[in-house]
Amino acid sequence: MTTPIKPGPRSGLEFDTWRVLRVMAELVDGFETMASVEKAVSIYGAARARQGDKYYRLTEEIAETLGRGGYAIISGGGPGIMEAANKGARTAGVESIALNIGLPQEQEPNPYANISMDFRYFFTRKVMFVKYANAFVVMPGGYGTFDECFTALTLIQTRRSYKVPLILVDREFWGGMYDWLQTSLERGYLDESDLDLITFSDDPGEILQIVLEADRKAEEKKKEEEGEKK
Protein backbone atom coordinates (compact mmCIF):
# COMPACT_ATOMS: atom_id res chain seq x y z
CA MET A 1 0.00 0.00 0.00
CA THR A 2 1.32 3.45 -0.86
CA THR A 3 1.47 6.33 1.59
CA PRO A 4 -0.92 9.11 0.49
CA ILE A 5 0.41 12.61 -0.08
CA LYS A 6 -1.12 14.76 2.65
CA PRO A 7 -2.00 18.45 2.36
CA GLY A 8 -0.04 20.94 4.43
CA PRO A 9 3.68 21.68 4.78
CA ARG A 10 5.83 19.90 2.23
CA SER A 11 8.37 17.33 3.26
CA GLY A 12 11.43 19.20 2.01
CA LEU A 13 13.76 19.14 -0.97
CA GLU A 14 15.75 16.12 0.17
CA PHE A 15 12.65 13.90 0.35
CA ASP A 16 11.35 15.20 -2.98
CA THR A 17 14.70 14.43 -4.63
CA TRP A 18 14.39 10.80 -3.57
CA ARG A 19 10.83 10.80 -4.89
CA VAL A 20 12.13 11.92 -8.31
CA LEU A 21 14.59 9.02 -8.29
CA ARG A 22 11.75 6.62 -7.51
CA VAL A 23 9.76 8.04 -10.43
CA MET A 24 12.76 7.59 -12.72
CA ALA A 25 13.19 4.01 -11.54
CA GLU A 26 9.55 3.18 -12.30
CA LEU A 27 9.82 4.65 -15.80
CA VAL A 28 13.09 2.88 -16.60
CA ASP A 29 11.77 -0.44 -15.31
CA GLY A 30 8.57 0.03 -17.33
CA PHE A 31 10.40 0.89 -20.55
CA GLU A 32 12.74 -2.08 -20.20
CA THR A 33 9.93 -4.51 -19.40
CA MET A 34 7.65 -3.30 -22.20
CA ALA A 35 10.36 -2.93 -24.86
CA SER A 36 9.40 -6.19 -26.59
CA VAL A 37 5.70 -5.27 -26.90
CA GLU A 38 5.00 -4.54 -30.57
CA LYS A 39 1.21 -4.23 -30.76
CA ALA A 40 -1.12 -3.90 -27.80
CA VAL A 41 -4.52 -2.65 -26.70
CA SER A 42 -5.11 -1.08 -23.27
CA ILE A 43 -8.41 -2.10 -21.66
CA TYR A 44 -9.89 0.01 -18.85
CA GLY A 45 -12.86 -0.75 -16.62
CA ALA A 46 -14.30 -1.31 -13.17
CA ALA A 47 -12.26 -3.17 -10.57
CA ARG A 48 -15.50 -4.08 -8.79
CA ALA A 49 -17.07 -6.06 -11.63
CA ARG A 50 -17.41 -9.71 -10.58
CA GLN A 51 -17.15 -12.95 -12.50
CA GLY A 52 -20.54 -13.58 -14.07
CA ASP A 53 -21.13 -9.85 -14.57
CA LYS A 54 -22.06 -9.19 -18.21
CA TYR A 55 -19.21 -6.70 -18.56
CA TYR A 56 -16.72 -9.22 -17.15
CA ARG A 57 -17.78 -11.80 -19.74
CA LEU A 58 -17.78 -9.25 -22.56
CA THR A 59 -14.34 -7.94 -21.60
CA GLU A 60 -12.94 -11.45 -21.60
CA GLU A 61 -14.38 -12.03 -25.09
CA ILE A 62 -13.07 -8.68 -26.39
CA ALA A 63 -9.58 -9.35 -25.03
CA GLU A 64 -9.51 -12.86 -26.49
CA THR A 65 -10.69 -11.59 -29.89
CA LEU A 66 -8.07 -8.85 -29.94
CA GLY A 67 -5.45 -11.36 -28.85
CA ARG A 68 -6.31 -13.74 -31.67
CA GLY A 69 -6.01 -10.73 -33.96
CA GLY A 70 -2.40 -10.30 -32.90
CA TYR A 71 -2.60 -7.77 -30.08
CA ALA A 72 -1.17 -8.02 -26.59
CA ILE A 73 -3.52 -6.86 -23.85
CA ILE A 74 -2.63 -4.27 -21.20
CA SER A 75 -4.77 -3.98 -18.06
CA GLY A 76 -4.45 -2.38 -14.66
CA GLY A 77 -3.60 -5.75 -13.17
CA GLY A 78 -6.32 -5.88 -10.52
CA PRO A 79 -9.65 -7.69 -10.24
CA GLY A 80 -12.89 -7.12 -12.15
CA ILE A 81 -12.59 -5.87 -15.73
CA MET A 82 -8.80 -5.89 -15.42
CA GLU A 83 -8.83 -9.57 -14.51
CA ALA A 84 -11.20 -10.37 -17.38
CA ALA A 85 -8.91 -8.57 -19.84
CA ASN A 86 -5.84 -10.50 -18.71
CA LYS A 87 -7.81 -13.75 -18.68
CA GLY A 88 -8.94 -13.24 -22.28
CA ALA A 89 -5.38 -12.48 -23.34
CA ARG A 90 -4.09 -15.64 -21.71
CA THR A 91 -6.77 -17.70 -23.45
CA ALA A 92 -5.66 -16.22 -26.77
CA GLY A 93 -2.03 -17.04 -26.01
CA VAL A 94 -0.71 -13.48 -26.29
CA GLU A 95 1.17 -11.27 -23.87
CA SER A 96 -1.10 -10.51 -20.92
CA ILE A 97 0.29 -7.39 -19.26
CA ALA A 98 -0.67 -6.18 -15.79
CA LEU A 99 0.22 -2.70 -14.53
CA ASN A 100 -0.44 -3.04 -10.82
CA ILE A 101 -0.67 -0.16 -8.38
CA GLY A 102 -0.84 -0.19 -4.60
CA LEU A 103 -4.22 0.99 -3.33
CA PRO A 104 -5.85 0.96 0.11
CA GLN A 105 -8.62 -1.29 -1.21
CA GLU A 106 -9.57 -3.70 -4.01
CA GLN A 107 -6.27 -3.77 -5.95
CA GLU A 108 -5.06 -7.33 -5.52
CA PRO A 109 -3.10 -8.57 -8.55
CA ASN A 110 -5.02 -11.04 -10.69
CA PRO A 111 -3.38 -14.37 -11.64
CA TYR A 112 -3.77 -14.15 -15.43
CA ALA A 113 -0.84 -11.91 -16.42
CA ASN A 114 2.46 -13.19 -17.79
CA ILE A 115 4.07 -9.73 -17.67
CA SER A 116 3.48 -7.89 -14.41
CA MET A 117 4.78 -4.61 -13.00
CA ASP A 118 4.10 -2.77 -9.76
CA PHE A 119 3.76 1.01 -9.65
CA ARG A 120 3.72 3.49 -6.83
CA TYR A 121 2.60 6.46 -8.92
CA PHE A 122 -0.48 6.70 -11.10
CA PHE A 123 1.19 8.99 -13.64
CA THR A 124 4.10 6.65 -14.36
CA ARG A 125 1.63 3.79 -14.77
CA LYS A 126 -0.39 5.91 -17.22
CA VAL A 127 2.72 6.38 -19.37
CA MET A 128 2.87 2.61 -19.88
CA PHE A 129 -0.85 2.40 -20.68
CA VAL A 130 -0.53 5.06 -23.38
CA LYS A 131 2.95 4.59 -24.85
CA TYR A 132 2.40 1.00 -25.97
CA ALA A 133 -1.29 1.13 -26.96
CA ASN A 134 -2.51 0.80 -30.54
CA ALA A 135 -6.01 1.43 -29.18
CA PHE A 136 -7.99 1.90 -25.98
CA VAL A 137 -11.09 -0.09 -25.07
CA VAL A 138 -13.03 1.52 -22.22
CA MET A 139 -15.54 -0.64 -20.38
CA PRO A 140 -17.99 0.75 -17.80
CA GLY A 141 -16.32 1.80 -14.56
CA GLY A 142 -15.88 4.45 -11.90
CA TYR A 143 -13.50 7.31 -11.13
CA GLY A 144 -10.38 5.46 -12.21
CA THR A 145 -11.89 4.40 -15.53
CA PHE A 146 -13.08 7.94 -16.28
CA ASP A 147 -9.64 9.30 -15.37
CA GLU A 148 -7.86 6.87 -17.68
CA CYS A 149 -10.36 7.49 -20.49
CA PHE A 150 -9.98 11.27 -20.38
CA THR A 151 -6.21 11.06 -20.00
CA ALA A 152 -6.06 9.13 -23.27
CA LEU A 153 -8.50 11.50 -25.00
CA THR A 154 -6.61 14.59 -23.85
CA LEU A 155 -3.26 13.23 -25.03
CA ILE A 156 -4.68 12.32 -28.44
CA GLN A 157 -6.53 15.65 -28.77
CA THR A 158 -3.40 17.66 -27.96
CA ARG A 159 -1.21 15.44 -30.17
CA ARG A 160 0.95 14.36 -27.27
CA SER A 161 0.01 10.83 -28.29
CA TYR A 162 -0.63 9.16 -31.63
CA LYS A 163 -4.21 9.23 -32.89
CA VAL A 164 -5.45 5.73 -32.13
CA PRO A 165 -8.99 4.42 -31.62
CA LEU A 166 -10.70 4.96 -28.29
CA ILE A 167 -13.70 2.67 -28.10
CA LEU A 168 -16.40 3.02 -25.46
CA VAL A 169 -18.33 -0.17 -24.73
CA ASP A 170 -22.05 0.13 -23.86
CA ARG A 171 -23.47 3.35 -25.27
CA GLU A 172 -26.27 3.36 -22.68
CA PHE A 173 -23.73 3.49 -19.84
CA TRP A 174 -21.66 6.24 -21.47
CA GLY A 175 -24.65 8.15 -22.84
CA GLY A 176 -24.79 10.73 -20.03
CA MET A 177 -21.11 11.52 -20.41
CA TYR A 178 -21.46 11.84 -24.17
CA ASP A 179 -24.44 14.20 -23.75
CA TRP A 180 -22.27 16.35 -21.47
CA LEU A 181 -19.58 16.43 -24.16
CA GLN A 182 -22.21 17.53 -26.66
CA THR A 183 -23.09 20.40 -24.31
CA SER A 184 -19.40 21.35 -24.18
CA LEU A 185 -19.38 21.31 -27.98
CA GLU A 186 -22.45 23.58 -28.14
CA ARG A 187 -20.77 26.06 -25.79
CA GLY A 188 -17.60 26.14 -27.83
CA TYR A 189 -15.40 24.22 -25.39
CA LEU A 190 -14.83 21.36 -27.85
CA ASP A 191 -14.62 20.98 -31.62
CA GLU A 192 -16.52 18.45 -33.72
CA SER A 193 -13.20 16.71 -34.39
CA ASP A 194 -12.78 16.17 -30.66
CA LEU A 195 -15.93 14.07 -30.51
CA ASP A 196 -14.72 12.13 -33.55
CA LEU A 197 -11.99 10.69 -31.31
CA ILE A 198 -14.65 8.51 -29.65
CA THR A 199 -16.12 5.35 -31.15
CA PHE A 200 -18.88 3.17 -29.69
CA SER A 201 -19.02 -0.59 -30.11
CA ASP A 202 -20.16 -3.60 -28.08
CA ASP A 203 -19.10 -6.20 -30.63
CA PRO A 204 -15.69 -7.89 -30.16
CA GLY A 205 -15.28 -8.62 -33.87
CA GLU A 206 -16.13 -5.05 -34.83
CA ILE A 207 -13.72 -3.71 -32.21
CA LEU A 208 -10.93 -5.83 -33.71
CA GLN A 209 -11.74 -4.52 -37.19
CA ILE A 210 -11.68 -0.90 -35.94
CA VAL A 211 -8.21 -1.44 -34.47
CA LEU A 212 -6.91 -3.29 -37.54
CA GLU A 213 -8.21 -0.58 -39.89
CA ALA A 214 -6.60 2.17 -37.82
CA ASP A 215 -3.27 0.32 -37.90
CA ARG A 216 -3.56 -0.17 -41.66
CA LYS A 217 -4.13 3.55 -42.21
CA ALA A 218 -1.28 4.45 -39.87
CA GLU A 219 1.07 2.14 -41.77
CA GLU A 220 0.02 3.64 -45.12
CA LYS A 221 0.60 7.14 -43.79
CA LYS A 222 4.03 6.14 -42.50
CA LYS A 223 5.02 4.74 -45.90
CA GLU A 224 3.82 7.92 -47.64
CA GLU A 225 5.86 10.10 -45.29
CA GLU A 226 8.95 7.93 -45.80
CA GLY A 227 8.46 8.17 -49.56
CA GLU A 228 8.26 11.96 -49.41
CA LYS A 229 11.57 12.12 -47.55
CA LYS A 230 13.43 10.16 -50.26
Q: Does residue 187 lie within any of the structural domains?
A: yes
> Which residues form the domain of 103?
15-225
Q: Does residue 3 lie within any of the structural domains?
A: no
Quote the number of domains for the chain.
Answer: 1
- Residues 130, 135, 125, CA angle at the centre, nearest 5°? 20
Q: In what order do the strands lie in the sheet with 115-119?
A: 115-119, 96-101, 72-75, 40-44, 135-138, 166-168, 198-200
Q: Does residue 4 lie within any of the structural domains?
A: no
- Return the SS3 of 28: helix
Question: What Å distances lie between residue 82 and 38, 43, 203, 217, CA to CA?
Answer: 21, 7, 18, 29
Q: Does residue 6 lie within any of the structural domains?
A: no
**Tens-binned pLDDT, residue by residue, of the chain (230 aa):** 455 555 555 556 667 888 899 999 999 999 999 999 999 999 999 999 999 899 999 999 999 999 999 999 999 999 999 999 999 999 999 999 999 987 766 567 899 999 999 999 999 999 999 999 999 999 999 999 999 999 999 999 999 999 999 999 999 999 999 999 999 999 999 999 999 999 999 999 999 999 999 999 999 888 877 777 76
Q: Does residue 198 lie within any of the structural domains?
A: yes
Q: What CATH number is associated with residue 56?
A: 3.40.50.450
